[in-house]
Amino acid sequence: MSGQEKNPLYHVLKSQQFSRELLDELYEITNKIRRLNKSKEGLDYLRRMLSHKRAMLYFVQPSTRTFLSFLNACQILGIQTSEIRDTTTSSEVKGESIYDTIRTFCSYVDVVIMRHPQAGFTEEIAHYLDQTPRPVPIINGGSGPDQHPTQALLDIYTLRESFKELGGIEDKTIALVGDLKRGRTVRSLVYLLKHFENVRLIFVAPKQFQMGEDIKAFCIRENMPFTESADLESIVPESDAIYMTRIQDEYDANGESKIIDYTAFHFKHDFLKILKPGGVLMHPFPRRLEIDISVDSDPRAMYWRQERNGMWTRVAILVKIFQIAEKILSL
């Protein structure tokens, strides 16, 4: 075992591991990073912080934003990177087990950031590595239809920034829309929203893809009121934030997505008229037709900022894992 017992953030595996205290600290670090980004001196300083560290990006499911924002987050801190994005280019094609492949990364690098199609696998690999003589922190960049904790962290950051002048995330009504059953972003986000008082959730989805029973049971346990709906337009006026998602048809077993009229879960330009003046519209991307492009110029469309917040949030996560938060915050 390495020094992970002393480290409040070592592996990043699932949203449930985050306390409110840690969320607050990440928020503060992210804001500090954004301020340092405004000057060459600040950026030069950041680039020297972790120039002695190396990261492996192992992304064997498609990714644009998570991959690139982690890559750029590493570059901001001076971390050197290597990557595998396709198992056909690794020795897994020669019959090597994924355990041996990932243990190999640990021989070379100081952190592994990974995206994998199998739910729960990132956790399993982290526990396996912890039994080896040279474990390194593992960051979950998306584990099948299950969890995407770093996306949830950047979503919380975006919500906090959006509601800064409106009393914070507390007391807000947040609608999660789309394929909630298989959407890892919304699942991970619900786990984090429990840290904010009086949040009310609306799960808007086609019946077949409503939020999983495990998440609903979690909401009941945590006293987070929720309602379910299949009518997007009717819930727009009462929502403070609307979080749109695409249909996750890569997880179809029998083409079940094809029979759904997903246009009922598209945010149409006309909905802007009934969206609250201080409301926010989010999307983890990639977008298909869930939000009309003509909506992008509305100041309540937050998704492009949300995307950029992903990079800052991931810098903050690395800062915390490598225990340089105090140094950065004291600048």
- Reading the block at residue 130, the tokens are 């912890």
Q: Are 221 and 260 in contact (CB under 8 A)?
A: no
Q: How big is the site for ligand NCD, counted in residues (CB under 6 A)?
A: 12
Cβ proximity to ligand NCD, 160 vs 246, nearer residue: 246
Phi (first) and psi of residue 123, to 5 degrees: -65, -45
Stretch that binds ligand NCD, among 4-12, 192-200, 217-225, 283-291 (CB under 6 A): 283-291
With CB under 6 A as the contact rule, the residue among 173, 284, 325, 328 that binds ligand NCD is 284
Asked if 172 touches ligand NCD (CB under 6 A), the answer is: no
Cβ proximity to ligand NCD, 181 vs 246, nearer residue: 246
Number of Cβ within 10 Å of residue 99's Cβ equals: 13
- Reading the block at residue 94, the tokens are 């020669």
Cβ proximity to ligand NCD, 161 vs 179, nearer residue: 179
Cβ proximity to ligand NCD, 49 vs 147, nearer residue: 147
d(CA 53, CA 109): 7
Cβ proximity to ligand NCD, 142 vs 206, nearer residue: 142
Peptide linkage before 286 cis (omega within 30 of 0): yes
d(CA 277, CA 279): 6
- Helix ranges (H only) for 50-97 are 65-76
Stretch that binds ligand NCD, among 194-202, 219-227, 282-290, 315-323 (CB under 6 A): 282-290
Number of Cβ within 10 Å of residue 2's Cβ equals: 14
- Helix ranges (H only) for 146-278 are 149-162, 184-193, 213-221, 232-235
Stretch that binds ligand NCD, among 28-36, 102-110, 117-125, 278-286 (CB under 6 A): 278-286
Q: Are 58 and 87 in contact (CB under 8 A)?
A: no
Q: Are 242 and 275 in contact (CB under 8 A)?
A: yes
Asked if 185 touches ligand NCD (CB under 6 A), the answer is: yes
Supply the minimum distance, in Å, between the C-beta of residue 175 and ligand NCD.
Answer: 17
Asked if 184 touches ligand NCD (CB under 6 A), the answer is: yes
Asked if 262 touches ligand NCD (CB under 6 A), the answer is: no
Q: Which of 155, 232, 237 is nearest to 191 (CA)?
A: 155
With CB under 6 A as the contact rule, the residue among 271, 285, 303, 312 that binds ligand NCD is 285
Ramachandran class of 300: left when φ > 0, alpha when ψ lies in -120 to 50, beta otherwise: alpha
d(CA 51, CA 58): 20
Asked if 151 touches ligand NCD (CB under 6 A), the answer is: yes
Residues 69-128 binding ligand NCD (CB under 6 A) are none
Cβ proximity to ligand NCD, 140 vs 151, nearer residue: 151
- Reading the block at residue 235, the tokens are 């819930």
Cβ proximity to ligand NCD, 66 vs 81, nearer residue: 66
Stretch that binds ligand NCD, among 73-81, 85-93, 193-201, 279-287 (CB under 6 A): 279-287
With CB under 6 A as the contact rule, the residue among 14, 53, 148, 314 that binds ligand NCD is 148
Taking residues 212 to 251 in sequence order and writing x for each that binds ligand NCD by CB under 6 A, - otherwise, the string is ---------------------------------xx-----
Asked if 66 touches ligand NCD (CB under 6 A), the answer is: yes
The helix (H) or strand (E) run that includes residue 321 is helix 303-321
Sites of contact with ligand NCD (CB under 6 A): 65-66, 142, 148, 151, 184-185, 245-246, 284-286
